[in-house]
Structure 1
Amino acid sequence: MTLLQLHHVQRTYQPNSTHPVQALKDISFDVQLGEYIAIMGESGAGKSTLLNIIATLEKASGGEVILNKQNLSHFTADEAARFRREHLAFVFQHFNLLDSLSNRDNIYLPLVLASQPLKLMQERIVPLIQSLHIEKIIDRYPNDISGGQQQRIAIARALITHPNLILADEPTGALDSNTSQEILALFDHINKKGQTILMVTHSAAAASHAKRTIFIKDGRIYHELYRGNDSYSAYQQKISNTMMVMTNGGE
C-alpha cells in the first residue's frame, strides 16, 4: 500500500527576487507502508527542505505531496498543524525535549496537545516503556539522563501518537558510535513491527539500516539503492561508494 507520493516536487525561495534559490528542482518517489527509507546528500542538496515539505512545515512551490491520500498542498495553516499532530511524528538530532517536564510527561506531550484522555496516555505508554527499555528513567528529567536515553524518550514521544509516518532528522547526529548503534537497533525494531520511517542522515552507517536509500544532489534525485539481502556492512559500503561518486561529480 502506498502511504506517501511525491510528484515533481519543487521548492524555490525568494522566487520574485533577482537571485531565486531553487532548493528542490524535481523530486518524485513513493513510500510504501512499512518502508524504512534514508535520504542522503551533501549539505545544501535539499534534504531538510524535502523533509519540511513532507512535514507540512513548508509548502512546495510546485508539484504534489500526497500522504495518506490527502494532498498536503491544499492545507491551510490550521489544517496542516492538525494533520501533523494526527498523522506524523518527529525524531530530531537534538531530541527537543522540555527540561521542565519529566520524561513521562515529555512522552505524553503530543497527546496532551491533542486533548486526549489520561487513561489513553497511560495505556499507550506501557508497551513503549517495555520495548524501549526506559523503565529506570521514565520519571526522571531530560537533563538527568544521557543523550542516548534522551533519544529513547524522544522515540517514545513519537510512537505514542501511533503515527502513519516517522520523520527522523539526523537522529544519531549528536550521539557517539555505540549509542548510535543502540538507537539504530531501536529503529530496526519499530520498523519490523510495521512503522514507516523516513530518515535524513549524513551517516552511511545510519543509512545502512534503511531498506532503501535515496540520494539527492542539486535538488534532484541522483540515485537509489535497495538493501535487499545485503548485510549492514555490505550495504554501508555501497552507500559510501555512491556518496563518493556523487561528491566527486560522477554521473
Structure 2
Amino acid sequence: MSLLTLRHIRRAFVSGKNNQIMALKDISMEVETGDYVAIMGESGAGKTTLLNIIATLDQASSGTIILNNKDLSQLSEKKAAKFRRQHLGFVFQNFNLLDTFSNQDNIFLPLVLDRQPLKIMQQRLIPLAQQLEINDILNRYPYEISGGQRQRIAAARALITHPQLLLADEPTGALDSQNSQRLLQVFDQINQAGQTILMVTHSAATAAHSRRTLFIKDGIIYHELFRGQQSEADYLRNINNSLSALMTTGGE
C-alpha cells in the first residue's frame, strides 16, 4: 500500500535579479508502507530540499504530494505543524536537541506540544528507552552526553509519536563508525517491525541498510536500486558502483 506519493515535484529558488535556480526539476516517486528508502546524490542535487518538502517544512513550486491520502500542499501553516507532530518523525544530523531540557523532556516535547497526558508519554517511553539503551541518561542533559547518545535521544523523540513516516537527514553524519552502526541497527529493527523510513545520506554504508536507494542528480531521479535478496555487502558494492556512474555521467 502506497503511503507517500510524489508527482512531478518542482522547486525553484530565486537568486539575485530574476535568476531562477531549479533545485528539483521533476520528481515522481512512491513509498510503500513499511519501506526503507535511502536518497543519495552529490551536494546540491536537491536531496534535502526534497526531504523538506515531504516534511512540510518547504513548499514545492508545483506538483502533488500525498501522504496517507492527504494532499500536503493544501495544509495551512498551522495545520502543517500539527500534521508534522502527529504523523512525521525527524532525525537530523545535528540532533536538534534543547540543552535547557533534560533528555527525557526533549523526547516528550512533541507529545507535550500535542497535549498528550503524562501517563501516555511515560508508557510510550518505556519500550523506546529499552530498545535505544538510554534509560541511564534520561535525567541528564544533551550537553552532558556523547554524540551517539544524543542521536539516540533524538531517535526516541522522533519515534515516540508513533509516526507514519520517519524522515532522517544525514542521521549518521556526525557519528563515528561504532555509533553509526548502533543507530542503523535500531533503524533496521524498527523497519522490520513495520516503521516506514525515508533517509537522505551521503554514506553508501548507511544506504546499504535500506531496501531501496534513489539517486538524484540535477533535480531528477537518475537511478534506482533495489536490495531484494542481496547481502548487505553486495548491495553496498552496487550502491558504490552507481555513485561512481552518477559522478561521471550526465544527469539527463
Shorter-chain TM band = over 0.9
> 1:16: Cα distance to partner?
10
Task: Pick which of 35-44 and 142-151 moved more.
Answer: 142-151
Specify the alignment match of 1:102 in structure 2.
102
> 1:126: Cα distance to partner?
0.7
Distance in 1 separating the partners of 2:171 and 2:16: 35
How do 1:22-101 and structure 2 match up within 5 A? Answer: 22-101=22-101
Q: 1:179-231: per-residue Cα shift (whole Å, max 9, x none)?
A: 11111111101111110000000000000000000000000000000011111
> 1:18: Cα distance to partner?
2.4
Specify the alignment match of 1:186 in structure 2.
186
How do 1:93-172 and structure 2 match up within 5 A? Answer: 93-172=93-172
Which stretches in structure 1 are left out of the alignment for 5+ residues?
A: none
Q: Look up the SS of the partner of 2:136 in the other structure.
A: coil
Distance in 2 separating the partners of 1:143 and 1:57: 27
Distance in 1 separating the partners of 2:104 and 2:76: 32
Aligned residues: 251
Which stretches in structure 2 are left out of the alignment for 5+ residues?
A: none
Amino acid corresponding to residue 131 of structure 1 in structure 2? Q
Task: Pick which of 206-215 and 125-134 moved more.
Answer: 125-134
Q: 1:15-54: per-residue Cα shift (whole Å, max 9, x none)?
A: 9952101100000010000100000000010001100100
Distance in 2 separating the partners of 1:15 and 1:82: 31
Distance in 2 separating the partners of 1:180 and 1:52: 23
Identity between Structure 1 and Structure 2 (%): 61
Q: Look up the SS of the partner of 2:178 in the other structure.
A: helix
Distance in 1 separating the partners of 2:246 and 2:12: 23
TM-score if structure 2 supplies the norm length? 0.97
Distance in 2 separating the partners of 1:58 and 1:176: 30
Distance in 1 separating the partners of 2:246 and 2:130: 42
Distance in 1 separating the partners of 2:169 and 2:26: 21
Q: 1:57-108: per-residue Cα shift (whole Å, max 9, x none)?
A: 1111111000010011111111111111111110000111111111111110
Q: Look up the SS of the partner of 1:11 in the other structure.
A: strand
Amino acid corresponding to residue 108 of structure 1 in structure 2? F
Q: 1:114-156: per-residue Cα shift (whole Å, max 9, x none)?
A: 1111111111111111111112112111111111111111110
Specify the alignment match of 2:219 in structure 1.
219
TM-score if structure 1 supplies the norm length? 0.97
Amino acid corresponding to residue 130 of structure 2 in structure 1? Q
Q: Look up the SS of the partner of 1:100 in the other structure.
A: coil
Distance in 1 separating the partners of 2:15 and 2:86: 32
Distance in 1 separating the partners of 2:94 and 2:61: 29
> 1:250: Cα distance to partner?
5.3
